């Protein structure tokens, strides 16, 4: 890719956070924040909520 064609030629990133609740492979076990454009110091003020998960379920699961 040419330097001018690279959207990140300024050295900045478009970060986001992905959470996976394991074990489990369904889409409902995956959450993602909004992307914060062109920053190396992102700050998220978001709450990610897994629906339908009991306290008992949480004892057997891990966030990755």
> For 8-56, what is each residue's pLDDT tens digit?
567 889 999 999 999 987 888 899 999 999 999 999 999 999 998 899 9
- pLDDT recorded at residue 7: 57
Q: Give, as one character, the DSSP assignment of residue 42.
A: -
| pLDDT greater at residue 26 or residue 3 | 26
Number of domains in the chain: 1
pTM above 0.75, yes or no: no
Q: Which two tokens stand for residue 11?
A: 């050295």
The DSSP annotation for the chain comes to: --GGG-TTTTS-B----EEEEES--SGGGEEEPPP--SBSS---------TT--HHHHHT-EE-
CATH of the domain at 8: 2.60.40.150
Question: Which pLDDT value is given to residue 1?
Answer: 38
Residue 21 belongs to what domain range?
A: 1-64
Paired tokens of 49: 């909520």
């Amino acid at each position: 890719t040419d330097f001018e064609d690279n959207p990140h030629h300024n050295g900045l990133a478009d970060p986001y956070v992905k959470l996976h609740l394991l074990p489990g492979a369904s889409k409902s076990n995956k959450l993602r924040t909004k992307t914060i454009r062109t920053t190396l110091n992102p700050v998220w003020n978001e709450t990610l909520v897994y629906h339908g998960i009991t306290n008992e379920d949480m004892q057997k699961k891990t966030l990755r």
